[in-house]
Amino acid sequence: MHGQNACRYTTKRTKIRGIAFLAALVIPFFVSSCGPFQSRAEDPNWYKTHTTITSVDEAAKLFGGDLLLDKLVLKQENPKPYTEFILEYADENSKSINDRKTWRILSAQVLYGGERFDVEDDYINLTIFFQENDPSLVGSARYPDDGFEAQLRGSKAAKTIGGIAVKYREYKSRDFKYSFCSEFKYLGYTYFLESYSKQNPNLSWDTLNQMLCS
């Protein structure tokens, strides 16, 4: 593999294609839609249930420095990666930025092409689930294949990074030679990381090593 167990990461430039990182419940949306960003423009009630930030430092400060958000972006000077973080609350009537029990999903997107909605370069998606058995993660009784975990189905691959067990799958997608998805537990929450790269086979592992080892 690519040094999955080594606590290392490169500063080599990586490009990242940006699409939506949280695309409803349908797996094809993961690589073909603008997910919550598009919904924000169409739904007048968006801001009643969501909080959005584009700065890594501000996201870590607002959502908490213990969620690994400040370790998600690999170093790259030119272009500067574009980042966006979206917190979805479980209920608009009982939400609190200071109470994670009211949180449902925190989604983070890193676009190494440097532009919002960049669909040409490589990208990283991180989705943190704060509630057990969220339908977006595990699917539903009616649509069991529509959760994020469906992407891992059939894969028995697993590695331990920084003492944390990571389940993963590596594959080729239509637009990216190096496609990757993984799941792990941290602070009792479920993390689902996706990476898509055209040229960098280490993008996924460099990101995981930086998050879990540094």
Model pLDDT for residues 23-76, shown as the tens digit of each residue: 333 333 333 334 444 455 567 778 888 999 999 999 999 999 999 999 999 998
Of 181, 73, 54, 67, the C-alpha closest to 129 is 67
In a domain, 34, yes or no: yes
Closest CA to 183 of 159, 201, 206: 159
Confirm whether 18 is domain-assigned.
no
Residue 153 or 85, more confident:
85
More confident residue, 9 or 192: 192
Q: Residue range 64-89: average pLDDT?
A: 94
pLDDT at 164: 98
Residue that wins the pLDDT comparison between 146 and 162: 162
* Host H or E run for residue 58: helix 56-63
Distances (CA, A) of 128 to 118, 123, 187: 22, 17, 11
In a domain, 54, yes or no: yes
Does residue 204 carry a pLDDT above 90? yes
- Does pLDDT of 189 surpass 90? yes
10 inside domain: no
Name the residue with higher pLDDT: 10 or 176.
Answer: 176
Q: 131 is in which domain, residue-wise? A: 27-213
Residue at 129 is within a domain: yes
The predicted pLDDT at position 33 comes to 34
Residue 45 CA, chain-centre distance (Å), reads 24
Total number of domains constituting the chain: 1
Count CB neighbours of 130 within 10 A: 20
DSSP letter at 31? Answer: G
Asked, for residue 40, whether it belongs to a domain, the answer is: yes
Is 191 within a domain?
Answer: yes
Q: What is the pLDDT at residue 106? A: 98
Does residue 7 sit within a domain? no
Q: Which of 146, 131, 189 is nearest to 164 (CA)?
A: 189
Q: Which element (helix H / strand E) includes 159?
A: strand 158-161
